[in-house]
Amino acid sequence: MVASADFNITRAETSKLQSMTLENIPFGKYFTDHMLEVDYEDGEWKTVEIKPYQPLLLSPSLAALHYGQAIFEGIKAYKNMQGEVNIFRPFENFRRFNNSAERMEMPKISEEIFIEGMKELIKLDANWIPNKPDHSLYIRPFMFSTDEMIGVRPSGKYKFMIILSPTGPYYANPMRIYVEEKYVRAVEGGVGFAKNAGNYGAAMYPTAEAKRKGYDQVLWMDAFEHKYVQECGTMNIFFIIGNKAITPDLNSGTILSGVTRESVIQLLQDSGLIVEERALSIDEIVSAYKEKNLLEVFGTGTAATISMIKELKYKDFVMNFDVEKCEISTAIKIRLGAIKEGREDDKYNWLVKI
């Protein structure tokens, strides 16, 4: 464990909270008073600084801008009814962050910097956490290459940072989803399992195309046959078919191993539902719908938590779902929220207290 004395902390003179309110806050628009920053040079991480949130001064030749060595994570902190602050499963994100770093040929970050630095930062900005249901403090750790040189090779220098953003619900309304058949998110042997910036940049054009057609997000299919379900936009996806919850497995390395996904699987199993992690084809989904056996579809993710899906379009076939009758996903969403916000006992030890 690292004490606060091991960090170089500079406090903001005044808080931006004095001139704003935490009511009706959109996702990712406002940022707290402080940020964490540390540089990697000569094979080691240097002094960790926690300082007032501010712009960065970057060279036009910055390696990350040209070659895409950039990774990130998404985590949330909550206040319980007693005003105590807890982070939801940050060690899972820590492990995933380093898995992404390894795949992108970037240095791993230490637990002391990632976890303890995060705690110190949140302590400073705990007043930014909205104390209301479905609201939280979104935590964004990220790393990017900082060599100031043009040349296709791994950088020798990197910057790791954490910024914080108070947030409300990510997807406030049930979603309409377009099944994507032309563009793909990831291929086997690629970087689909890593949370790197390029995965999201490549998804923007097909997502925009879907939105131009009136849909909120795309359902990605596999790269070879365009037949097997992958992810839904920025989320993992679940299908309630009969008495089973089915979600794509992670074996191919094309799907991000979601922390919320893992949590939902645990809660579904504890509720008595059979959970299958396996290949799931769009043909099986359409057949289940036609047989009136496809009961619910929902996405899971840190930002979205659990998002209801009210429509799924494949070719010219439209599948509609009455989200008011989606009892399983609704119950899981309520229970997961209750654990995060301290209204239900955390028997899984998912919460890390500040």
**pLDDT band of 171, cuts 50, 70, 90:** low
The mean of the pLDDT values for the chain is: 95
Mean pLDDT value across residues 296-306 = 91
Taking the CB of residue 112, how many other CB atoms lie within 10 A of it?
Answer: 14
What are the residue boundaries of the structural domains of the chain, listed by start? 4-168, 175-340
CA distance 85 to 185: 36
Read off the pLDDT of each residue in 236-244 and give the average, rounded to a whole number.
97
SS3 at position 89: coil
Protein fold of 4-168: D-amino Acid Aminotransferase; Chain A, domain 1 (3.30.470)
DSSP-H helix ranges across the chain: 63-67, 90-103, 111, 117-124, 197-212, 259-270, 282-290, 327-340
pLDDT band at 222 (very low <50, low <70, confident <90, very high): very high
Per-residue pLDDT band for 133 (boundaries 50, 70, 90) equals confident
Mean pLDDT of 330-341: 94
Q: Is 226 exposed, middle or buried (0-12, 13-18, 19+ CB in 10 A)?
A: middle
- What is the rounded CA–CA span in Å between residue 27 and residue 165? 8
Region 129-154 average pLDDT: 94
Summarize pLDDT for 93-117 with one digit per residue, the tens.
999 999 999 999 999 999 999 999 9
Give domain 175-340's CATH superfamily: D-amino Acid Aminotransferase, subunit A, domain 2 (3.20.10.10)
Across 146-150, 295-299, 302-306, least confident range: 302-306
44-49-55 Cα angle (round to 5): 110
